[in-house]
Every structure is written in C-alpha cells, then in structure tokens.
Amino acid sequence: MPENASITDRIREILRPYAAKWSGVRSRGDIVIPEREIAEVVDQIVEAIRSTVERQEASDTDLFDVLMETRRAGSVQNQMESLRRRFTILCR
C-alpha cells in the first residue's frame, strides 16, 4: 500500500496551495481553485497518478524474494497465484 500513500501525498501537495483560509464563509477543508487553473490542476493530478502507477520491471532481488516465498506453496497453481498477485506477468 505504500504506492497508494505516495499518490495521496502527491495529490495533497498539488491541492495544498488552493486550500481556503479558516475565516470567512468557507470552512476548514474547503478547496478553492480559480476556474482558469482547473485544467492545469487536473493535468497535474493525472500526471501524478500516471507516474506513480507506471509499470516497471521487477528487480532481481524482488523476483528472488518472491520465488523463495512461493517455493513453500503446496502446488504449482498456488505458486502461480502468488506470483500473479505480486507482479504483472506479460507475454513477450
């Protein structure tokens, strides 16, 4: 889940400058984005999500660790299920 935390933190950084002040009609937690900046904010959020979720190849260490864990599985099917949960497997 650290990936989700990274996305959340990045989106908060993007939206922080638009947080409303505590005084006035607006209350704590309101976000005020000027209409002319909405497209830019949306683009920044989409880019943050895209860069965080981008597929990357597994490192040798990650692959080794998972393979060592799956050796203890009862069957080959359980080993494959474990690998599919941890990695995206693409045919080349």
Q: Give the pLDDT confidence score for residue 44 in this predicted structure.
A: 93
DSSP codes of every residue in the chain:
-HHHHHHHHHHHHHHGGGBPPSSSSS-TT-B---GGGHHHHHHHHHHHHHHHH---PPPHHHHHHHHHHHTTSSSHHHHHHHHHHHS-----
Q: What is the pLDDT of residues 17-51, one digit of tens each?
A: 888 766 655 556 688 889 999 999 999 999 888 87
**Residue 31 bridge partners (DSSP):** 19
Does the pTM surpass 0.85? The reply is no
